[in-house]
């Protein structure tokens, strides 16, 4: 259809038969209206904390930016929106998610929150309730959800460490959403882990972020149309 429009346009400009030329503008207008509108890209929103907000990293080197680049290479029609804020908690994400959903109307929402809840010693029940509320809000808005799980170091105590990790599993199972069990797998649990973190021992360096993306991608790929 588009090639036909271009051909007729060139013919008209070249001076086609008088009877045809008189109606060229009407024909072209009608044909252009008949063309299908270019489809707007779907949207994927990442609601996270400093692990997704490129804290301490050169711009464009974090896993969310790498995700956008991978989607472009694979010609997946998604716009990746990084709505992550350093220091954010599940309560903060829960509070700001409704406005994000209304403004962006995403098809996919990635929730990467919970680590700062642990750092602040917030009750696990509160973390769980906030995550569930975010999942429900995103699904009510028509989005598919991926939950990124997190773990804490053993110095938090065996019971708390196990309970914290299980919180993400329980939410994903109860709400039937996709789960990345441990976002930092292959980074935080490697023998030379100290070489893969910034001086604060909390935030991964740039070379770790392709690994983080590789943790997310197999699960996320199944949610993409």
Total domain count, the chain: 2
Given a cut of 60, whether residue 8 has pLDDT beyond it is no
Enclosing domain of residue 9: 2-34
pLDDT of residue 11: 43
Which range has the worst mean pLDDT, 9-18, 82-91, 94-103?
9-18
Residue 71 burial (CB count, 10 A): 20
**Average pLDDT estimate for 73-85:** 97
- Over pLDDT 90: what percentage of the chain? 80
Residue whose structure tokens are 């809000």: 137
Residue whose structure tokens are 């890209």: 41
Given a cut of 70, whether residue 1 has pLDDT beyond it is no
Given a cut of 70, whether residue 88 has pLDDT beyond it is yes
One domain for residues 128 and 18: no
**Average pLDDT estimate for 43-66:** 98
One domain for residues 139 and 207: yes
- DSSP 8-state assignment for residue 130: H
Residue 143 burial (CB count, 10 A): 22
Q: Which of 49, 50, 88, 209 is catalytic?
A: 50
Q: Which of 49, 52, 117, 203 is catalytic?
A: 203
- 23 included as an active-site residue: no
| Tens digit of each residue's pLDDT (9 = 90 or more) over 98-157 | 999 999 999 999 999 999 999 999 999 999 999 999 999 999 999 999 999 999 988 899
Q: Which residue has the higher pLDDT, 37 or 64?
A: 64
- DSSP 8-state assignment for residue 191: T
Q: Average model confidence (pLDDT) for the chain?
A: 89
One domain for residues 85 and 21: no
> What is the longest distance spanned by two Cα atoms in the chain?
88
- 203 included as an active-site residue: yes
φ/ψ region of 77 (left if φ > 0, alpha if ψ in -120 to 50, else beta) reads beta
Which range has the worst mean pLDDT, 3-12, 60-69, 161-170, 196-205?
3-12
Residue 201 sits in a domain whose CATH number is 3.40.50.1110
Given a cut of 70, whether residue 45 has pLDDT beyond it is yes
One domain for residues 114 and 23: no
One domain for residues 157 and 189: yes
pLDDT of residue 4: 43
- 200 included as an active-site residue: yes
């Amino acid at each position: 259809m588009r090639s036909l429009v271009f051909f007729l346009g060139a013919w008209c400009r070249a001076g086609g038969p008088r009877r045809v030329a008189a109606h060229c503008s009407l024909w072209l207008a009608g044909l252009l209206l008949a063309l299908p509108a270019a489809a707007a890209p779907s949207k994927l929103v990442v609601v996270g904390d400093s692990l997704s907000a490129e804290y301490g990293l050169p711009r464009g080197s974090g896993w969310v930016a790498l995700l956008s680049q991978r989607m472009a290479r694979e010609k997946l029609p998604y716009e990746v929106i990084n709505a992550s804020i350093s220091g954010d908690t599940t309560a903060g994400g829960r509070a700001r998610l409704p406005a994000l959903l209304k403004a962006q109307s995403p098809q996919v929402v990635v929730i990467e929150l919970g680590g700062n809840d642990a750092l602040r010693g917030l009750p696990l029940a509160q973390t769980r309730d906030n995550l569930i509320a975010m999942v429900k809000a995103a699904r009510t808005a028509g989005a598919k959800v991926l939950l990124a799980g997190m773990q804490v170091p053993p110095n938090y105590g065996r019971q708390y460490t196990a309970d914290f990790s299980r919180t993400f599993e329980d939410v994903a199972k109860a709400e039937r959403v996709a789960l990345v069990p441990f976002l930092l797998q292959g980074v935080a649990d490697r023998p030379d882990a100290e070489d893969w973190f910034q001086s604060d021992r909390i935030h991964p360096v740039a070379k770790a972020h392709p690994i983080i993306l590789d943790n997310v991608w197999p699960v996320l790929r199944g949610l993409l149309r």
